[in-house]
Amino acid sequence: MASLSAQTILCIALVLTTSLIMDVNATLEGGPREFDYFALALQWPGTICHRTRHCCSCCRSKNSPTEFTIHGLWPDYNDGTWPSCCARARFDVKEISPLMDALEKYWPSLYCSRSSTCFSGKGIFWAHEWEKHGTCSSPVIQDEYTFFLTALNVYFKYNVTKILNEAGYVPSNSERYPLGGVVSAIEDSFRATPEVICSKHDVEEIRLCFYKDFKPRNCLASKTSCPKYVSFPTYVALEHDESDAAIELISGEEAL
Ligand code: 5GP
């Protein structure tokens, strides 16, 4: 039998090494490995509604939110990556019906279009968050109802809007505040460092991070997208927006 060339041996070694490295990220069942910590991502409607008011019914309603709302509860890895779409657990809106009032108020979608889901095309924002992130929070969180309930509970426990208001960082279209002051105000109350995401100088998101037992921990020290001075823009829906909303909602639904 002809002996293997050095080049062939090198190729086999390379393939074996690559598959070993890939296995580090996999559980025995072949899914992604268990996450390291949770991030609660909160979004500032004042910033997002300025972009989406013409198409987002939530932004256009007279009751458009004036406090941070929930974007998601994300299981993340310490290296800055995260698992996604971990199980074929389809979103079922019936499972969260007891939470509906709170979810509509504190976890609304501020975007225009329907969101992508992991395996079935498009769905509502909650379906996206459960399928993409929620299914990866096992073994800490095992089901859809607990995922949404836990996110709401953590959101209520650490009221970032109140923390900032009490420190004098109030919504304004003219004031800018030092980013360091905003971060310190949260650190003083939350006892850990948040992550702040900006769109130009407007704060778009604040993320709070937690160990798996939901004790606060520092978020990863990332390069911030914010300048030294940031703002929390206000957003007030215009009077005529609600009637426009009805018209545009119909045409939006037709387009689906
Ligand atoms: P994620 O960042 O959670 O993986 O994905 C968020 C996706 O959900 C976005 O791509 C967007 O299409 C959709 N989405 C729907 N409503 C909202 C919203 O209010 N805020 C954000 N950030 N994303 C939304």
For residue 39, the CA-to-ligand 1 centroid distance in Å is 15
Residues with CB under 6 A from ligand 1: 43, 71-72, 109-111, 115, 125, 128-129, 132
Looking at every residue in the chain, the average pLDDT score rounds to: 85
Closest C-alpha among 50, 144, 142 to residue 90:
144
Cα–Cα distances in angstroms (integers) from residue 228 to residues 43, 50, 78, 191, 225, in the given order: 19, 22, 26, 22, 10
At residue 179, the 3 state secondary structure works out as helix
Picking from 191, 188, 73, 197, the residue whose alpha carbon sits closest to that of residue 136 is: 73
Residue 235: pLDDT band with limits 50, 70, 90 = confident
Please give the Cα distance from 9 to 213 (Å, whole number).
47
> pLDDT of 7-56, one tens digit each?
544 333 433 333 333 333 334 356 799 999 999 999 999 999 999 988 89
Nearest Cα neighbor of 228 from 180, 168, 167, 187 is 180
Between the two ends of the chain, the Cα-to-Cα distance in Å is 63
CB 230 within 8 A of CB 196: yes
* Residue (of 45, 62, 110) closest to 240 by Cα position: 62
The answer on pLDDT for 194 being more than 80 is yes
Work out the average pLDDT over 228-234: 97
Asked if 128 is an active-site residue, the reply is: no
Work out the percent of the chain whose per-residue pLDDT is above 90. Answer: 71
Q: How far is the CA of 34 from the centre of ligand 1 (A)?
A: 23
pLDDT at 255 over 80: no
**Which of 6, 68, 20, 14 shows the shortest CA–CA distance to 41?**
68
Buried/exposed 73-108: b ≥16 CB within 10 Å, e otherwise: bbbbbeeeebbebbeebebeeeebeebeebbeebbb
Alpha-carbon distance 78 to 38, whole Å? 10
- When pLDDT is averaged across residues 197-224 and rounded to a whole number, the result is 95
The per-residue pLDDT for range 63-113, each reduced to its tens digit, is 889 999 999 999 999 999 999 999 988 999 999 999 999 999 999 999 999
Q: Contact 43/205 with Cβ under 8 angstroms?
A: yes
Is 129 labeled as catalytic in the residue annotation? Answer: yes
- Tokens at residue 231, please? 């703002």
